[in-house]
Amino acid sequence: MSAAPQSSTVGKELILDIKDLKVHFNIAAKSAWPWAKPSKLKAVDGVNVRLFEGETLGVVGESGCGKSTFARAIVGLVEATEGEVLWLGQDLTRMQAVQKREKRKEIQMIFQDPLASLNPRMSVGDIIAEPLVTFYPKLSKAEVKAKVKAMMDKVGLLPNVINRYPHEFSGGQCQRIGIARALILNPKMIICDEPVSALDVSIQAQVVNLLKELQNELGLSLVFIAHDLSVVKHISDRVLVMYLGNAVELGESDALFSNPKHPYTKALMSAVPIPDPRKERAKKIQMLEGDLPSPINPPSGCVFRTRCPIATAQCAEQKPQLKGSDVHSVSCLLVD
| pLDDT of amino acid 306 | 92
Would residue 104 be called left, alpha or beta, if left means φ above 0 and alpha means ψ between -120 and 50 degrees? alpha
| Section 269-294 average pLDDT | 78
**How many domains does the structure of the chain reveal?**
1
The reply to whether 132 falls in a domain is no
pLDDT of residue 264: 94
Whether the predicted pLDDT of 1 surpasses 50: no
Compute the distance between CA of residue 41 and CA of residue 295 in angstroms, rounded to an integer. 5
pLDDT score for 282? 74
Mean pLDDT of 70-83: 93
Residue-by-residue DSSP string for 179-239: HHHHHTT--SEEEEESTTTTS-HHHHHHHHHHHHHHHHHHT-EEEEE-S-HHHHHHH-SEE
Please indicate, yes or no, if residue 123 is contained in any of the structural domains: no
What value, to the nearest 5°, has the Cα angle with vertex 68 and ends 157 and 237? 70
Each residue's pLDDT tens digit, 10-47: 668 999 999 999 999 988 777 666 767 788 899 999 99
Q: What is the pLDDT of residue 228?
A: 82
CA–CA dist 108, 261 (Å, integer): 33
Residue 46 lies in a domain: yes
Residue 145 lies in a domain: no
Task: Report yes or no on 302 lying in a domain.
Answer: yes
Taking the model in full, what pTM does it have? 0.90
d(CA 240, CA 57): 7
Is 117 inside a domain boundary? no
Calpha distance 154→177 (Å, rounded): 11
pLDDT of res. 121: 94
Is 216 a member of any domain?
A: yes
Residue 47 lies in a domain: yes
Q: What share of the chain has pLDDT > 90, as a percent?
A: 66
CATH assignment of the domain containing 292: 3.40.50.300
The domain in which residue 88 lies consists of 14-27+39-106+187-330
Could you give the count of Cα atoms lying within 13 Å of 242 in the half-sphere of its Cβ? Answer: 31
Q: How far apart, in whole angstroms, are the C-alpha atoms of residue 63 and residue 197?
A: 12
